[in-house]
Amino acid sequence: MAGWLTIARQEFRGLLRDRRFHWLCSAVGLCLLAVLIVGWQQTQTVRAQRTAANAVAREHWVTQPPKNPHAAAHYGVYAFKPQTALAFVDIGVDEHAGVVAFLEAHKRHDLTGAAAQDGRTQRLLALTAAGVLQYLLPLLIIVLAFDALAGEREHGTLRYLLSLGVRPRTLLAGKLAGIGAALGVALLPAAVSSFLLLWWLEDAPWDFVRLAMMAVSYLLYGFIFLALTLAVSSRWSARMTLLGMLTFWAVSSFVVPRMVTDLAARWYPTPARAAFDAAVAHDIRQGIDGHNPQEERLKAFESRLLAQYNAKRLEDLPINPAGLLMQESEEHSNQVYAHHYARLWLAFEQQVALHNAAAVVAPVLAVRSLSMALAGTDVFHHLDFADAAERYRQPLIKTLNEDWAYNSTLATDETYVADTRLWTSVQPFTYTPPPLTLALKRQWLALAWLGGWLGFSLLALSSAARGLTATT
Amino acid sequence: MMHAKLWLSVFRHEWRHLLREKSLWLAGLVLPGLCVFGAYNGLRWTTFQQTASAAFQKSADERLAAYRETVVGLEQKQAPDREFDPRRPLIAGMFRVFQPAVLPPAPLATFAIGDRDLRPYAFRITMREAAVQPDPENPLHAATGWFDIAFVVTFLLPLMVFAFGYDVLSGERERGTLALVLAQPITPFALLVTKLAARGVWLVGTMWGAGLLAFLLTERPSGAALLRLVLWMGLVAVYVWLWLAVVAVVAAGGWASATNAVVLSVVWLVWGLLIPAAGAGVANGLAPGPSPIELVNARRSADRAFEANEKELTVRYLAAQGAPTALPPEDFSLQALARLAAIESDMRPLWESEEQARRRRHQWRSRLAWLSPTALMQSLLDGLSGVDADRWLAFYDQVLAFQKTWRERFARRVLPNDLIRAEEVPTWPRFTLHEPPLSALYPHLALAGGLWLGLGGVLLWVAGTRAGSAGILPAR
């Protein structure tokens, strides 16, 4: 039998007899199960609520009484962001991002209705499965493994083992496998439960692939902490290993993410509401380049319209110019909004990129980004929904404006009303989240850093193996 | 007397020993460094808030000035009244003018960012509503939180206390020097207390220095700010005392240093992370309130209900105002006012339920915070910096009250169609915040301080008992 397997068995049995292991693994395992079940129940409720809300919004739209299409454009449509099934594992930024888009004429509104608006959440640790795995799992690993080698050395058994011919690599592999297996036993119920809960929630095969990838990410994350703890334990005393790894855990998990948040906000600032609105209003009035004032633009459009219909006065047109002028304004304001939101989104993307770059010192940032992307709850998914809502708003308003323009004239403007035929001709809003490949592509940096940490931890283990001798 | 001299002598020795520790000096640089970094982040927020509020106020002033110009123009031309005449009270109050209501940063605001990014600090008051003005914010930042001095004090300071105290006796024992020290006429408990006292003095001194430095660099000195700084210093001292007492209990157990570190980490985890996180969940569960989605759909339903019975509801509105109920010719102002009243009447139960839930959640969070020193410390530091929920709720109440009077100002003139005159525009009231006094925080500060001093005393007593009964010489 391979030597490493014998050592792994020994380590595994030793841990199973350890009261420390019983208490800590039970606590983390139960906590994980509890947050999975609570998260699942909440996700189920929220998903049902948002699906129903979208149906109600559609019903409100198609059953609205006859009215002028422009009045309908201001009546607007509500679009509710669907919650992904895997939000029960990782809620990501969902509680801090809006969920309702109000789509009406003239204005692109921000998403509203974020659950955390009145300080509902505790931001240092979200009690979700992802939160437990990102913050408590490393602690559990450190506490269980800090004396795996240092303890052997301090008790004098390390020298004995090595002098018996046990190769350092075999010893490290055995310890790694033994502790890993014990942790696996503790976390297996939660892992199995998460697949079962997902199956009860939804049977989309891609979500199972996403969940499997999340499981692999957390497995790698756990491996990184275990490998680093063993590597440090091979060189330092048990006490120093514990202190060093706890410091690394606390700094990388809690200090670095917050520092990066502040640095990102400082380096890639986003405007205040008043400044953002003022800039949009200015560009709508003056043109994005400042040389295309609204008044002149609309006058030129009127002239083109009169020339097109060979008419001298707007009143003589066979169509309603108000609808087309409105649409002309919409086209311009759409460009202005696209310009300003693109700048805002760019700042958000740069901020996220900084968070991912900081994963070089804090592996939690890499696994957090990957986990949120796989769960469909990261910033990019939020922006994607906001853009999808805007892509729906623009043709919706265009349809209404053109109906108004081509079915009435200035003379019949006040009496013209559209009815259910127009409302039902507008397709309902549907949203499909971006595919898995795109979600991962956007998090390439996080993926790269997780790989980097994996490589570093393997190097650290290899170096630890070289440093372990009978005279250690 | 004899004991006091001995204790003092051990303290002096420990102090001299500490001063030779490189890690202590490193921490002595790191802690103030983190505090100054946190203070600059707080300053960035404060400046951002002030600039944004000034821009908001400016845009309101410009709009009001432009509106007045329009009214002057119409008056000079003696233009006849029309359905959408800007002088009509409803057109003015609902569409043409607004009043900004902003919550200014309080003294010592740079010391805590709190939930400033989650709770709106600016409202746009119109006749229709008090609408929030949320700044565009990356939701990832909102989910992560900010690095401020309150974070350093609340979460990192206990870790520093643990790092310097976890091996205070076990380290001596593991090095084999404990037996030697205890050969002197000093009890293990006295040794423990004096060693921890030296570390406590050093940590409190460092934090006070760091706080003072941050204050000088980022705050505008004033009596109010200085008073808050003094209270902040007192709170920090009591907080350190409590965590040192926790260290004392663990250190007196006679465990190995590594075990002490594990136990203290678990204490920090439970008190610092798990209880506050669970507390937020429990508070939300106990007072859920209607969801934003429910509110949106209910409002839309109320709007549709009005559309379906427009005439009947308009007559009902006129009757409620004591006006003749014979329907006048179709008029936008009357229709809009009647619609507003009908929607509010339908929505009131839901809005009240939302408001009650918000306040109940806050109450529950405040109560549950007493279960965790970190959660309580966070709320007290937020209170000293004016970014706490109580101050925000007081502001919000005033915003709602102001919106009510602002609306009345226009609404009562809609039915008689009493047109707005240019001369009255500059006399319209502005929102001014009546700042809740800092003294409202005193009972909380006193109670928390008393509780922590008492709890620290009890823990020290337990530590004394453990040190005496278990004996700390033999390693377990």
Written in H, E and C, the secondary structure of B274-289 is HHHHHHHHHHHHHCCC
Across the interface, which of A64, A113, A261 has its CB nearest the CB of B147? A261
Cβ contact B143–A96 (<8 Å): yes
In Å, how far is B215's CA from the nearest CA of chain A? 19
Report the pLDDT value the prediction gives residue A450, as an integer from 0 to 100.
96
Alpha carbon distances (Å) from B183 to B2, B10, B56, B178: 16, 13, 71, 9
Alpha carbon distances (Å) from B310 to A59, B35, B305, B337: 20, 60, 8, 11
Among A375, A367, A392, A371, which residue's Cα sits nearest to residue A433? A375
CA–CA separation, A28 vs B199, rounded Å?
Answer: 33
Partners of residue B21 in chain A, C-beta under 8 Å:
none
Across the interface, which of B137, B147, B281 has its CB nearest the CB of A270? B137
Alpha carbon distances (Å) from A172 to A99, A157, A461: 49, 14, 8
Partners of residue B276 in chain A, C-beta under 8 Å:
122, 124-125
Report the pLDDT value the prediction gives residue A293, as an integer from 0 to 100.
73
Segment B29-48 shows an average pLDDT of: 94
Across the interface, which of A53, A255, A275 has its CB nearest the CB of B55? A275
Cβ contact B280–A115 (<8 Å): no
Cβ contact A115–B133 (<8 Å): no
C-beta atoms surrounding A289 within 10 Å = 7
pLDDT at B471 over 70: no
Across the interface, which of B134, B277, B307 has its CB nearest the CB of A127? B277
pLDDT at B335 over 60: yes
ipTM of this complex: 0.92
Across the interface, which of B136, B277, B389 has its CB nearest the CB of A270? B136
DSSP code for A307: H
Partners of residue B31 in chain A, C-beta under 8 Å:
none
B241 in Cβ contact with A226 (< 8 Å): no
> Which residue pairs from B42-46 have beta carbons closer than 8 angstroms and sit at least 24 positions apart in sequence?
B42/B109, B42/B110, B42/B111, B42/B112, B42/B113, B42/B148, B42/B149, B42/B218, B42/B385, B43/B110, B43/B218, B44/A262, B44/A265, B44/A266, B45/B105, B45/B109, B45/B110, B45/B113, B45/B116, B45/B117, B45/B146, B46/B105, B46/B109, B46/B110
In Å, how far is A65's CA from the nearest CA of chain B? 8
pTM: 0.91
In Å, how far is B321's CA from the nearest CA of chain A? 28
In Å, how far is B424's CA from the nearest CA of chain A? 26
Mean pLDDT (chain B) is 90
Segment B11-19 shows an average pLDDT of: 84
Integer Rg of chain A from CA: 30
Cβ contact B141–A378 (<8 Å): no
Cβ contact B136–A275 (<8 Å): no
Helical H segments across A63-156, by residue range: 69-75, 129-131, 137-145, 150-155
CA–CA separation, B200 vs A435, rounded Å?
Answer: 55
Q: How many CB pairs under 8 A join A and B?
A: 207
B403 in Cβ contact with B99 (< 8 Å): no
Q: Which amino acid, residue A11?
A: E
Report the pLDDT value the prediction gives residue B180, as an integer from 0 to 100.
81
In Å, how far is B210's CA from the nearest CA of chain A? 18
Report the pLDDT value the prediction gives residue B476, as an integer from 0 to 100.
41
CA–CA separation, A447 vs A440, rounded Å?
Answer: 8
CA–CA separation, A295 vs A286, rounded Å?
Answer: 9
CA–CA separation, B142 vs B128, rounded Å?
Answer: 29
B394 in Cβ contact with B302 (< 8 Å): no
CA–CA separation, A37 vs A31, rounded Å?
Answer: 10
Q: Does A188 contact B at CB distance below 8 Å?
A: no
Bin B289: left if φ > 0, else alpha if -120 < ψ < 50, else beta: left
> What single string gives the DSSP state of each residue in B359-389?
HHHHHHHHHHHTT-HHHHHHHHHHHHTT-SH
Please give the structure tokens belonging to residue A29.
């395992």
Among B376, B400, B399, which residue's Cα sits nearest to residue B388? B376
In Å, how far is A16's CA from the nearest CA of chain B? 18
pLDDT at B475 over 50: no
Task: Give the position of tokens 């805007």.
Answer: A390
Range with the poorest average pLDDT among A128-137, B7-16, B32-41, B82-91: B7-16
| Residue of chain A whose Cα is closest to the Cα of B119 | A118
Please give the structure tokens belonging to residue B119.
């709770």
CA–CA separation, B395 vs B401, rounded Å?
Answer: 10
Torsion angle, CA of B30/B137/B387/A99, rounded to 10 degrees? -130
Please give the structure tokens belonging to residue A151.
């303890």
* Residue A108 bridge partners (DSSP): A103
Per-residue pLDDT 10s for chain A (472 aa) are 568 888 999 889 988 888 888 888 888 999 999 999 999 999 999 999 999 999 999 999 999 999 999 999 999 999 999 999 999 999 999 999 989 999 999 999 999 988 877 665 668 788 899 999 999 999 999 999 998 898 888 888 888 888 888 888 999 999 999 999 999 998 999 999 999 999 988 767 789 999 999 999 999 999 999 999 999 999 988 888 988 999 999 999 999 999 999 999 999 999 999 899 999 999 998 876 666 677 788 888 889 989 988 888 888 889 999 899 999 999 999 999 999 999 999 999 999 999 999 999 999 999 999 999 999 999 999 999 999 999 999 999 999 999 999 999 888 888 899 999 999 999 999 999 999 999 999 999 999 999 999 999 999 999 999 988 765 5
Partners of residue B143 in chain A, C-beta under 8 Å:
92-93, 95-96, 116, 121, 123, 126
Partners of residue B257 in chain A, C-beta under 8 Å:
239
Q: pLDDT for B186-206, tens place per residue?
A: 788 888 899 999 999 999 999
Mutation for A interface: B117, B271, B293, most A CBs within 10 A = B293
> What single string gives the DSSP state of each residue in B90-145?
HHIIIII--EEEE-PPPTTGGG--TTTTTS-SEEEE-SS-EEE-PPP--HHHHHH-
Report the pLDDT value the prediction gives residue B224, as an integer from 0 to 100.
93
| Residue of chain B whose Cα is closest to the Cα of A381 | B139
Cβ contact B143–A274 (<8 Å): no
Greater confidence (A221 vs B119) lies with: A221
